[in-house]
Amino acid sequence: MTPNFAPGATIRVSSSVLTDGLKLSALYPILDDGFETKRSLPTSVAAFARAGCRLVQLRAKTLTTRELMEWAQICVQEARRHQMTILINDRADVALLSGADGVHLGQDDLSVESARRVLGDEAIVGLSTHTLDQARLASRENVDYVAIGPVFDTRTKVGAFPAVGVEGVARVKSIVGKPLVAIGGLTLSSAPDVLGAGADGLAVISALYSEGKEGPDLERLATRWLRAGQTRTDRS
């Protein structure tokens, strides 16, 4: 059956597949189709969960909608086994139909208001920002967290905005009254400084796969990132 997305209608995901709010650890892994395969997804989700991550995102820019839906269902199923929160990048419709906990939006994606109309008020919605002004506007939106980046230069995203640096993270934290996620060019060595500047979580893609793509590799490296969160450099 095709859902009825009538204008003005609010479509809610069953509460049985939703978490009781945002659960954010120091490491926020992003499962990217540049590094993952459909077969590797369950192993990766389980590895991050065992390491102690509480939130994971599926980001797949090269898949067809049908493929993305298949990947999302796999991730959701595995996340449920580990009581882990799972978001889908960009696609509120796929988040709804797959039973994910919410969506992460970019500046050019569906508006936060429209995403809420699709997913409902209980879903988790995050929003990417790249400048102080964007972050200020995002803090007024009905989002659960604001992401800022790139913090450092990154090759993961083509056409990225200029890096904001650690000081930029601190400035954004001072004006955003919501959980703050930092993303872009992050490394284990920079993690304590970025967290100390006010980031509540670090969204990481390529650096997580620097030692291999197998489950034990990911779990071991994710654990190191989470430990880095315990040694954050206080800048207050």
Tell me: the pLDDT tens digits for 154-205?
Answer: 766 655 689 999 999 999 999 999 999 999 999 999 999 999 999 999 999 9
Q: Quick check: 182 and 149 in contact, CB under 8 A? A: yes
Q: Quick check: 29 and 226 in contact, CB under 8 A? A: no
Q: Smallest Cα–Cα separation from 191: which of 180, 202, 200?
A: 202
Predicted pLDDT of residue 170 = 98
Q: Which CATH class is domain 21-229?
A: alpha beta
Per-residue buried b or exposed e for 21-47, using 16+ beta carbons within 10 Å of the residue's own CB: ebebbbbbbbbbbebbeeebbbbbbbb
Predicted pLDDT of residue 223 = 96
196-207 pLDDT, tens digit per residue, is 999 999 999 999
Residue with tokens 């395969």: 37
pTM, rounded to two decimals: 0.88
Percentage of residues in the chain having pLDDT higher than 70: 87
In the chain, where are the structural domains located? 21-229
Predicted pLDDT of residue 233 = 62
Predicted pLDDT of residue 160 = 65
Q: Quick check: 193 and 166 in contact, CB under 8 A? A: yes
Q: Quick check: 87 and 48 in contact, CB under 8 A? A: no
Mean pLDDT calculated for residue range 74-99: 98
| Rounded-to-5 percentages of helix, strand, coil across the chain | 40, 15, 45
With 50 as the cut, is the pLDDT of residue 211 above it? Answer: yes
